[in-house]
Amino acid sequence: MRRGPIFYGWIVVAVTAVVVLVTAGVRSAPGAFILSMTTEPGWSTASVSFAAAAGLIVFGLSGPLSGWLMARIGIRSVVVLSLLVTGGALLATSLVREIWQLVLLFGLLSGLGTGLVASVLGPTVATRWFVRDRGLVTGILGASTSTGQLIFFPVLTALAVTAGWRVGAIVLGGLALVLIVPVLLWVRNDPADVGTRPRGVTEGAIAPTRPSDPGVMRGAVRTSDFWFLAGTFFVCGATSNGLVGQHFIPHAVDHGFTAVAASTALAVMGFFNFVGTIASGWLTDRWDPRKLLLIYYGFRGVSLLFLPFIHDTVSIGAFAILFGLDYIATVPPTVALVADRFGRHNVGIIYGWVFAAHMFGAAIAAWVAGIVRENVGDYAAAFVAAGWIAIVAGFAALAIRRPVAGGPVAVASTETGAA
């Protein structure tokens, strides 16, 4: 067995973290580019928001596809495919002149490319390479999303303001294509490829990983718990990625802030998102995840209700910190509830579709908020409505059932039996 001074899985984690970071930068681009894009002839806020919404829908639906592809062609091949599609789509986007071209390339194609590595890559790497430190690795790769936002939002906004959004698209596309080189050099599909075992595993220490249950989704969709999970995560996507992620900068500009100042506040939000997500993972191991979701969604709802009344630098900075702590803090308790309710061996499939609901919510909110801005003149109604919906989602999370400790995990319903 090949041994070295460092476990090879950490090298795979490092490259994966950079890929996820750049992917987050691509997904943050619509929010950073929206003001610059609306200066194009015939491109309104609503039409640009529709392109962003189309990308978010494909982004979400690519999660289940990614899991299926990784099982068949391997992690490295899927990541290379993702970077090729993403890079090509962004470079082509820099040349578009019509809104339908923007929807096709910047929306659908880049959404597909980034979606292939967004929700499934991190958990797959953590599961295949680590038994010990698996939670730490999951946290690192999840936090890379926040770091990507932290780095790219101010940079892309500054590029859009000074050089135009097309230059920003070229920069992102080039980064995606350059990353193919380290992926080909250092990413491996499985520890066996480098003659080792997952970290923390000794010879014969664990049984083979249990495969997902046949027809697990057919059973899951017949339970109310799946729909409560998908519904609350739908609201999560709508109130975070869809509304704040896509429209925070133009909303702040409407309230007298510069685009660069607004992007800096959004970057601060990304930093505290990093802190909040790790803290949420720690709390999820110790508290009832349903109660955490009630707190998170309730806090988020109150924050959104106050956002339309913020006009000064101190207040918007405070909002960025507080909302950032809660931005994707909902992910650890949602994943834990999926595992508790449907079994850990089914998390990849069930959570893939719950995540798809998250991105559907983001897409709808991104589009509707743009329409509200076009027809009403500001975003106030969109933020207030989102605030109340988030509060309702918090109480809905309490309705999700958890199996009794030591008891069977119901995959479908009490009538169909347990996993």
Collapsing DSSP to helix, strand or coil, 83 comes out as: helix
The pLDDT assigned to 415 comes to 35
Q: Is the pLDDT of residue 368 over 70?
A: yes
Mean pLDDT of all residues in the chain?
Answer: 83
Q: Is the pLDDT of residue 62 over 50?
A: yes
> pLDDT category, 342, cuts 50, 70, 90?
confident
Residue 348's nearest CA partner among 356, 21, 134 is 356
Q: Is the pLDDT of residue 75 over 70?
A: yes
Q: Is the pLDDT of residue 405 over 70?
A: no
> pLDDT category, 414, cuts 50, 70, 90?
very low
Q: Which residues on neighbouring strands pair with residue 199, listed in sequence order? A: 130
Q: Which residues on neighbouring strands pair with residue 418, listed in sequence order? A: 410
The pTM of this model reads 0.73
* Domains of the chain (ranges, CATH numbers): 1-203 (1.20.1250.20), 210-419 (1.20.1250.20)
On whether the CB atoms of residues 265 and 252 are closer than 8 A, the answer is yes
For residue 191, give Cα distances in angstroms to 4, 85, 210, 329, 359.
13, 27, 18, 31, 32
Q: Is the pLDDT of residue 413 over 60?
A: no
**Mean pLDDT value of segment 179-193:** 92
Instruction: Express as a percent the part of the chain with pLDDT over 70.
Output: 89
Q: Which residue has the higher pLDDT, 263 or 369?
A: 369
The pLDDT assigned to 205 comes to 47
Q: Is the pLDDT of residue 382 over 60?
A: yes
Query: pLDDT tens for residues 13-38?
Result: 999 999 998 988 888 788 788 888 98
> pLDDT category, 410, cuts 50, 70, 90?
low
Query: pLDDT tens for residues 276-320?
Result: 877 887 788 778 989 999 999 999 999 999 988 888 888 888 888
For residue 184, give Cα distances in angstroms to 62, 68, 80, 83, 193.
22, 21, 8, 11, 13
Cα separation, 5 vs 369, whole angstroms: 52
Cα separation, 359 vs 294, whole angstroms: 20
